[in-house]
Structure 1
Amino acid sequence: MESHGAVRRDGHNRLVVLDGLRLLAALMVVVYHLLHGEGVRDDAWGTPTDQLFPGLAGAAAYGWLGVELFFLISGFVICMSSWGRTVGEFAVARVVRLYPAYWFAVVATTTVLVLFPVFATHRDWTHVLVNMTMLQSLMGVPDVEQAYWTLSVELLFYVLFALVVVARGMTVRRVVAFCALWTLASLAAPWANNAGVYMFLGRGYAQYFIAGIAFYLMYRFGANALLWAIVGCSWVIAISRMWSEIETYDGSAFPPAAACVTAFFVVMALIANGKSDRIRWRWLTTAGALTYPLYLLHAQIGLTVIAAARPYLPAWVLLGATIAGLLLLAYLVHRLVERPAAQLLRRALLRSLDSMRAADTVPVVPAPRAPAPLVTEPAQPPTDEPSDDEIGNLRRGTLQRSPATRL
């Protein structure tokens, strides 16, 4: 693939603007679940939210699009963070990033639903245990928290990217080939009529990851026609799939949704082409750190708080206080749980990698061969009868028999 010269930027420099975008995406999802999620009006607020929050509730109806922004950013960040790493190092980085906060969130959410079942009840305990693996979607088990469905999409993307690209060694041509082949495979997946294949190939969201990967290649190596073609194709697929989903229940929602997704692509294109390089606000790094715990903890805990406190606070105050409390909780989880646990888990996993590498370098010593058994003539049992030779010697008178054999 033709490029605009050598590497343009250090591909591992942190882009704080992406941290800000992640927080924006998380807040979109939070507001959506608190104001527009299933069962919210009856069980949490007690009053239709479009009456309590005129204008805001209508905008919150599109908060689900924050997931699409998450996937765009994820494609960019995963390609950036995996460059130059082995599969083992890539796997350690992803496990350390995903699991410590997630384990805490599953336990915390379940505890709240057990102690304060004012909005919902906890899942079966076996379901909770399966949720600890993050593989519940693959096993047909309900999520403890409704937002967790996206984690299996992310996890399968990591596996696919690691097996196809990282394992072979990342190069621009291999990454571009991966984008092209994954695009075709994701389009053909529904024809397979197999839920497992469809899930493994992205569940209809592959185009966002692919566009994010292409944006990263633009950022690091410079834009060219092929990368723009990948981005444009991904955008067309995203808009087309969105129309097929929305038209079945509310066609009027399509123009705002399509405009929002298009804006996401435009913003990522500006970042990929260096238009945000001057943004270096330090607080954005902290904002990015809050994103994952906030996403994991917001829905059931937030709705439980709203259902319990709504008789005592005005609606706008309650909404603001709930979001502020969730941000504070996310910060505490990041500082007191996620960071310490991630350090311990990283050290343990890296030691495991080192031990496996050391084991692979130990030469294999062949087992010593067992000595071949000696082949001897079977012993003849003693007998008092003379042998044929002895009889012949006796006839010639040359053998002196012992007293034991005398006749």
Structure 2
Amino acid sequence: MTINPKKRIDELDSLRGIAAIIVVLYHYTFRFEELFNFKFITKYFNVPYGHYGVELFFAISGFVIFMSIEKINNPFKFLYKRFVRLYPTFWVGMILSFICISLFGPELLKVNISEFLINFTMIPSFFNIDSVDGVYWTLKVEMFFYLVIFLVLLLKKKESYKLFGYIYILMGTISFIVLKPTYYYFYGSLFLIGINFYKIWKGTSDWQNHLQIFICLGLTLFYPKLEFFAVTTLIVFIFYLMVFGKLKFLKISILLFLGKISYSLYLIHQYLGYTIQLKLIYAGIENFIVLLIIPLLISILIASLITFYIEKPIISFLSKKEPYRIKAQNGAKIAQYFKQ
């Protein structure tokens, strides 16, 4: 089976859209009540497990990253493309969230100017600083994953991904036995699952790809909550359907649209949405539909504007630049040093 690695997979966009919307609904229902103790929404509608949409995002990231580096051998080109894809949109969303929350949000959600400035790194928790928006914690996980991919490219070991997968599984198994399972290891397993599914989709897989997927699934049984196993099983099932062409029914316009704006929507929806919900409640509105729909529509509108009028033009412009080329020679020297 020959597949164009640059082919856009509509089903993947739809899955992004689904992941984004269930995370949004989780924040606007269960998490909102948890933080502010208002039950106007959860009394009628609740999505307590919607946070597992993040796990679906991580598996999608593993799939997409290996698709994106199919013809990339320059590690600095990879970093630059990741920077272009993530940082400008993040900065726009962060600035907008900071302004709105500072002006209209509750004290619980606010950060000061120095904390705001550190948030420009995208990994404020690394400096033990509060995030402008609570969803930023996942970006630290993504950044670590990208660092691993960078090192793999730097050492020219892209084709040894299965070996690295086995090493990761072995390390995890040992740590589970000696210590205890960690959430971050679980997230890494999801990236590995996504990578293996990309190889299956591309048609360059063998039995070892399936083996690694099921070992990662089995390792979730080490976690105290059976939810991890159930969620990972569902993700694996969904991806098997996708790679074998059984999710074409998901090619629905609204899901494809949500998938396209999912990054911006994810970045700006949480604290901005809480602020809107609180303002509506303080204005005397208790209708759960209004408390859900208004922040949802406003978040989708803002995310759409960011995606189509800021994100895409910036990516198009910066993608034409190639400053990473000047790093190629130094990168080769570094790789040679590690090989010695």
Alignment match of 2:191 (pick from 204, 209, 212)? 209
Distance in 2 between residues matched to 1:158 and 1:151, nearest whole Å:
10
Secondary structure, counterpart of 1:204 in structure 2? helix
Counterpart AA for 2:312: R
Distance in 2 between residues matched to 1:240 and 1:190, nearest whole Å:
7
Distance in 2 between residues matched to 1:192 and 1:127, nearest whole Å:
37
Q: Contact 1:12 / 1:80 at 8 angstroms: preserved in 2? A: yes
Q: Is 1:287 matched with 2:275?
A: no
Alignment match of 2:13 (pick from 15, 19, 25)? 19
Q: Is 1:270 matched with 2:241?
A: yes
Distance in 2 between residues matched to 1:64 and 1:26, nearest whole Å:
10
Match of 1:339 in 2: 312
Match of 1:363 in 2: none
Q: 1:262 to 1:359 in 2, by over 3 A?
A: closer
Counterpart AA for 1:229: L
TM-superposed deviation, 1:107: 0.8
Match of 1:300 in 2: 271
Q: Under a length normalisation based on structure 1, what TM-score does the superposition of the two structures give?
A: 0.73
Distance in 1 between residues matched to 2:260 and 2:107, nearest whole Å:
28
Match of 1:40 in 2: 33
Counterpart AA for 2:246: K
TM-superposed deviation, 1:258: 4.1
Q: Contact 1:113 / 1:120 at 8 angstroms: preserved in 2? A: no
TM-superposed deviation, 1:280: 5.5
The correspondence of residues 145-294 of structure 1 with structure 2, limited to 5 A, is 145-165=133-153, 167-168=155-156, 170-171=158-159, 174-188=160-174, 202-241=184-223, 244=224, 246=225, 254=226, 258-276=229-247, 285-294=256-265
Distance in 1 between residues matched to 2:155 and 2:261, nearest whole Å:
31
Match of 2:25 in 1: 31
Q: 1:119 to 1:35 in 2, by over 3 A?
A: farther
Distance in 1 between residues matched to 2:57 and 2:185, nearest whole Å:
15
The correspondence of residues 73-84 of structure 1 with structure 2, limited to 5 A, is 73-84=60-71
Q: 1:50 to 1:355 in 2, by over 3 A?
A: closer
Match of 1:394 in 2: none
Unaligned 5+ runs, structure 2: 332-340
Count of equivalent residues: 327
Alignment match of 1:115 (pick from 94, 97, 103)? 103
TM-superposed deviation, 1:12: 2.4
Q: 1:49 to 1:135 in 2, by over 3 A?
A: same
- Structure possessing the higher radius of gyration over alpha carbons: 1
Alignment match of 1:10 (pick from 4, 24, 42)? 4
Q: 1:41 to 1:189 in 2, by over 3 A?
A: closer
Q: Contact 2:14 / 2:258 at 8 angstroms: preserved in 1? A: yes
Unaligned 5+ runs, structure 1: 1-6, 247-253, 361-407
Distance in 2 between residues matched to 1:232 and 1:23, nearest whole Å:
26
Distance in 1 between residues matched to 2:34 and 2:248, nearest whole Å:
42
Q: 1:188 to 1:345 in 2, by over 3 A?
A: farther
Q: Contact 1:41 / 1:48 at 8 angstroms: preserved in 2? A: no
Counterpart AA for 2:306: V
TM-superposed deviation, 1:33: 1.1
Q: 1:23 to 1:100 in 2, by over 3 A?
A: same
The structure with the greater share of residues assigned to helix is: 2
Give the alignment's Cα RMSD to 1 decimal.
2.8
Secondary structure, counterpart of 2:93 in structure 1? helix
Q: 1:295 to 1:284 in 2, by over 3 A?
A: same
Q: 1:266 to 1:163 in 2, by over 3 A?
A: same
Secondary structure, counterpart of 2:42 in structure 1? helix
Distance in 1 between residues matched to 2:328 and 2:87, nearest whole Å:
24
Distance in 2 between residues matched to 1:316 and 1:283, nearest whole Å:
19
The correspondence of residues 314-393 of structure 1 with structure 2, limited to 5 A, is 314-348=287-321, 350=322, 352-356=323-327
Distance in 1 between residues matched to 2:50 and 2:144, nearest whole Å:
24
TM-superposed deviation, 1:79: 0.8
1:151-170, Cα deviation, whole Å (9 max, x unpaired): 00001001112202464053
Q: Contact 2:69 / 2:78 at 8 angstroms: preserved in 1? A: yes
Q: Contact 2:11 / 2:251 at 8 angstroms: preserved in 1? A: yes
1:329-366, Cα deviation, whole Å (9 max, x unpaired): 11011112212222343344x1x224455999xxxxxx
Secondary structure, counterpart of 1:50 in structure 2? coil
Q: 1:41 to 1:134 in 2, by over 3 A?
A: closer
Q: 1:144 to 1:188 in 2, by over 3 A?
A: farther
Structure with higher RCO (Cα < 8 A, 6+ apart):
2
Q: Between the two proteins, what is the percent identity of the paired residues?
A: 26
